[in-house]
A and B are shown apart, each in its own frame.
Chain A
Amino acid sequence: MSTTVAGVLFIASLAVALAVVYRPLGDYMYRVYSGTRHSRFEKALYRLIGARPDSEQTWGVYARSVLAFSVVSVLFLYLMQRVQNHLLLSLGFKPVDADQAWNTAVSFVTNTNWQSYSGEATMGHLVQMAGLAVQNFVSAAVGMAVAIALVRGFARKKTDQLGNFWVDLTRGVVRILLPIAFVGAIVLVAGGLIQNFGSGHDVTTLAGQTQHITGGPVASQEVIKELGTNGGGFYNANSAHPFENAATWTNWFEIFLILCIPFALCRTFGRMVGQNRQGYAIVSVMATLAVVSIVLTNVFQLMHHGTVPTAVGSSMEGVETRFGVSNSATFGAATTLTSTGAVDSFHDSYTSLGGMMTMFNMMLGEVAPGGTGSGLYGMLVLAVITVFVAGLMVGRTPEYLGKKIGSREMKFAALYFLVTPMLVLFATGLGLALDAGKDGMLNSGAHGLSEVLYAFTSASNNNGSAFAGLSANTPFYNTATGLCMAFGRFLPIVFVLALAGSLAKQGHTPESDGTLPTHRPQFVGLVAGVTLILVALTFLPALALGPLAEGIH
């Protein structure tokens, strides 16, 4: 079988598997978030938290709960790293420096998992499993909660109640993420991932050298890293490391974990608004963009254009033998189309255009299918913008799912969209203007610019992957990317919840002849078009200076 055929089968089998779980997983999540019963375990948790699970919150209270939980999480994670030398299983590592600890704390709380540290040389096991991995769960659950709150805004009428954040958070963790993660972790151990609490062993190699084989609770962290679209590796090499991604099929399984919840949430959305076809429309936009992007990334990587790839005869630099170029390209596209940022190959060494695709995926706003929760709310905001644009074309008040998109709604949608481009372009400009920014580049010329642009794109979109040649562990980058991650996560969340509150207050506008149907291929094409145009207008100039300048002679 040729590499191309195998690569196509790899993508096709993923698509089939995702299609198979779309309905059952989406329906299950619908029941999780719509149910009124609390399990005994959950009741106990609510009592410990001090939450009243049957009372609902307005958008303001919901948002403040999200923010309070996140602030506390950042503080806790920061402290944990700063005192890690006093903790169990510290492996003798010293406390993490202040700027790096801040960066890492924000990074994991915002579901970014940008890593300016090297896992195996910085973090003890307890910080990894009880600090970082916990945030992998809860930051994903926060994203899902916010998405569900937005969908409730569409589904409900004449109310200011959007649900209870503590209930949504707890259910997301206990009923969705934890069970899948537990089973998935065992599956990954079967594939060769390690799960122990030791510090590893020294061995004497065949050549007579000493090699330190590391230990750690990797499998339990790896699975939620993918499932929660987090991406922060136990090791510096992330999912390229054999202990994080041991076999050819674990690679497939990890991509599946990355994509399953973001896609299936569209089903949940359709169920909640009472029209499954609306879910199919949204998932079609996501799937179309994803397939095009994955195929293009594969094409660019397999064609291996550029001087070094031509000299090598393949885009093998930074790629593992067991995965090969094609499967690595698929992973690279999947990880940047979502907010994951895990890597099984190193994007910095990709071909210019292949590397540009990973950047472009993030610039899409990570909506195809995007992060757990954040992908759905990002795409719904784009759908709102689309009906507005379509409404302008025909001169009617735009509606979506029976809700009028008035100036208040559009303001929140526009503000939502503007946050990340502002952060990315401003911070990249700053990075290029300051010596502190330029000093971090490993590569020179256009590729150096790409490294900086990638860093801020990744941070502001809460992705976390990198053109990893950049020396990101400097006070400048730790501070700047930390700020981008925080603003890039919480400003959009506040705007989304405000939008949800404003939608929930409205009644239901019945469909009329002038209503744009939002479940037909026409609408799918419109949303995809609006997404691409918005992104192209915003980022093409920056891309032209980096990867395009490098790749096109």
Chain B
Amino acid sequence: MRIPSWIRQHLAAARALLVLTVVLGVAYPLAVWAVAQIPGLRANAEGSYVSRDGHRVGSSLIGQSFTDKQGDPLKQYFQSRPSAAGDGYDPTATSASNLGPESIVDTLPDPKLKTDDNAKPSLLTTICSRSKAIGELDGVDGGRPFCTRDSGVGAVLAVFGDRDRQGRVPHPTRVVSVNEQAGVVKAPFLPTYEGVKVELAKYGEDYSKGLIVPVKGDAPAKPAVPADAVTASGSGLDPDISPAYADIQVKRVAAARHISADQVRKLLDENRMGRGLGFLGEPRVNVLRLNLALDRQYPVKA
């Protein structure tokens, strides 16, 4: 009996796939692994682990959180960037925030609930509150454009009223600060807008009919808290921070370890990395390596 040609074709395809699977799917990765066993490559291939007193404390390529059980920063350590990987720096759940550049209106929590899972802060509010917290922790100005100064949320108004041809609202009838919730915030960041009193937002009210207007405010365009300090990285495992973010943390770390800022700065300088070959990537500081060096040289006295 002759096998029809279309079946023969699929049999050939199946055989080809099996053969190629053995070559490319088994032999090839094993061969790469075998070569990677030579000294110099082996530590990399295993995961670039770093150890202290014979115990692995992490990987120099994978960032970690330097926070206590409540999630508050441990003052004696340089802090990593915010992370969207799981509960923070979880290598089993790597992720970015994926929030867009105009994610500026919060979904407010139900004040009756202890924690409301439906509540969702906008990216803007997340950044504003991080900036405020870091400013307070490290003793610098935490203000940013489009952020409210006191409540530390996105400074965004919903402006109600008839629109003109350009889509603006020349004569507002009602103005709400959408990210500042009544009961949480005492007073809105602006008392009045275009002569209309600004209201606080209330849970459950729909402001989507209003024109959404972010208010830039008078914060400097280049804030004291650097960009990487308030944004989540792509992987959620970023092992580095910018030199600028390291710089603002020096004083706080020195105080927590009862040493001088210069002593910390010296270690920091030893751990700065420039651009690869002078032009690849950006300058940075590996946080785990720096903190390990600090612990080694200036252990925290219990």
26 pairs across A/B with beta carbons < 8 Å?
A65-B9, A138-B24, A186-B35, A189-B35, A192-B44, A193-B45, A195-B36, A203-B56, A205-B65, A211-B91, A215-B46, A236-B93, A237-B234, A240-B233, A241-B235, A248-B275, A307-B104, A308-B123, A308-B146, A316-B231, A318-B231, A318-B232, A321-B81, A321-B242, A349-B100, A469-B100
Total contacts A-B at CB 8 Å: 390
Which among A48-56, A494-502, A509-517, A531-539 touches the partner chain? A48-56
Contact of A252 among B46, B85, B280 (CB under 8 A): B280
B146 surroundings in chain A (CB, below 8 A): 307-308, 310-311
Give the CA-CA distance A197 to B68 in the complex, in Å.
33
**B contacts, CB < 8 Å to A:** 6, 9-17, 19-21, 23-26, 28-29, 31-33, 35-36, 40-41, 44-49, 55-59, 61-62, 64-68, 74, 77, 81, 85, 89-105, 123-124, 127-128, 144-147, 154, 214, 216, 221-223, 226-228, 230-242, 275-282, 284, 288, 291-292, 295
A275 at the interface (CB under 8 A from B): no
Cα–Cα, bound, A219→B235 (Å)? 17
In the assembly, what is the distance between CA of A317 and CA of B95, in Å?
12
Q: State which of A65, A209, A352 has its C-beta within 8 Å of the C-beta of B13.
A: A65
With an 8 A cutoff between CB atoms, is A433 at the interface? no
| Best-buried of A3, A192, A214, A308 by chain B (most CB within 10 Å) | A308
- Contact across chains for B28 and A182 when beta carbons are under 8 A apart: yes
Those of A310-342 within 8 Å (CB) of chain B: 310-324, 327-328
Interface residues of A (CB under 8 A from B): 1, 3, 5-6, 9-10, 13, 45, 48-51, 64-65, 68-69, 71-73, 76, 118, 120-121, 129-131, 133-134, 137-138, 166, 169-170, 173, 178, 181-182, 185-186, 189-197, 200-201, 203-207, 209, 211-215, 217, 219-221, 235-237, 240-243, 246-249, 251-252, 306-324, 327-328, 343-346, 348-352, 355, 442-447, 450, 467-469, 550
Which residue in B14, B16, B222 is a CB contact (below 8 Å) of A169? B16
The CA of A322 and the CA of B90, in the complex, are separated in Å by 19
| Cβ–Cβ contact A318 & B214, under 8 A | no
List the B side residues contacting A166 at CB < 8 Å.
12, 16
Which of B214, B235, B239 contacts A237, CB < 8 Å?
A: B235
Q: How far is the CA of A307 from the CA of B147 in the complex (A)?
A: 10
Nearest Cβ on chain B to A399's Cβ, whole angstroms = 35
Other-chain residue from A178, A204, A317 in contact with B123 (beta carbon distance below 8 A): A317
**Of B20, B28, B91, the contact of A220 (CB 8 Å cutoff):** B28
- Which residue of chain B lies nearest to A191 when distances are taken between CB atoms in the complex? B44
Contact A219 B45 (CB under 8 A): yes
> B77 touches which one: A9, A207, A251 (CB < 8 A)?
A207
Asked whether B93 lies within 8 Å of A120 as measured between CB atoms, the reply is: yes
Smallest CB separation, B238 vs chain A (Å)? 5
**Contact A240–B49 (Cβ < 8 Å):** no
Contact (Cβ within 8 A) A306 B28: no
Give Cα A444 to B108, complex, Å: 15
Q: Which 9 A-B pairs have the closest CB atoms?
A: A248-B281, A240-B234, A130-B25, A324-B282, A469-B98, A248-B276, A237-B94, A306-B101, A237-B235
- Whether B46 and A194, one on each chain, are in contact in the complex, defined by CB atoms closer than 8 angstroms, is yes
Contact between B21 and A217, CB atoms less than 8 A apart? no
By the criterion CB–CB under 8 Å, are A49 and B45 in contact?
no
Question: Which of B12, B241, B282 has its CB near the most chain A CB atoms (within 10 A)?
Answer: B282
Chain B contacts of A197 at CB under 8 A?
33
Q: How far is the CA of A212 from the CA of B45 in the complex (A)?
A: 16
Contact status A318-B98, CB under 8 Å: yes
Give the CA-CA distance A131 to B17 in the complex, in Å. 10
Q: Is B20's CB under 8 angstroms from A121's CB? A: no
Indicate whether A308 sits within 8 Å of B13 (C-beta atoms), given known contacts A134-B21, A209-B64, A313-B222.
Answer: no
Query: Closest residue to B280 on the A side, CB-wise?
Result: A248
Contact with A186, one of B36, B56, B101, B214 (Cβ below 8 angstroms): B36
Contact of B32 with A213 in the complex, beta carbons under 8 Å: no
User: Complex formed: what's the CA distance from A1 to B28 in Å?
Assistant: 41
Specify which of B23, B28, B49 lies most central, judged by the most chain A CB atoms within 10 Å of its CB.
Answer: B28
A192 lies within 8 A of B61 (CB) = yes
Q: How far is the CB of B92 from chain A (nearest CB, A)?
A: 5
Contact of B233 among A121, A308, A320 (CB under 8 A): A320
Asked if residues B47 and A318 are in contact (CB atoms below 8 Å), the reply is no
Bound-complex Cα distance A459 to B182 (A): 44
Shortest C-beta distance, A479 to chain B (Å), equals 22
List residues of chain A with CB within 8 A of the CB of B49: 201, 203, 213
Other-chain residue from A118, A189, A205, A344 in contact with B45 (beta carbon distance below 8 A): A189
Known: A72-B17, A309-B101, A321-B81. 6 other contacts (CB 8 A): A6-B282, A181-B28, A237-B96, A240-B94, A324-B282, A447-B100
Residues on A with C-beta less than 8 A from B16 are 49, 51, 69, 166, 169-170
Cα(A197)–Cα(B25), bound, Å:
13
User: Is A69 a contact partner of B25 (Cβ separation < 8 A)?
Assistant: no
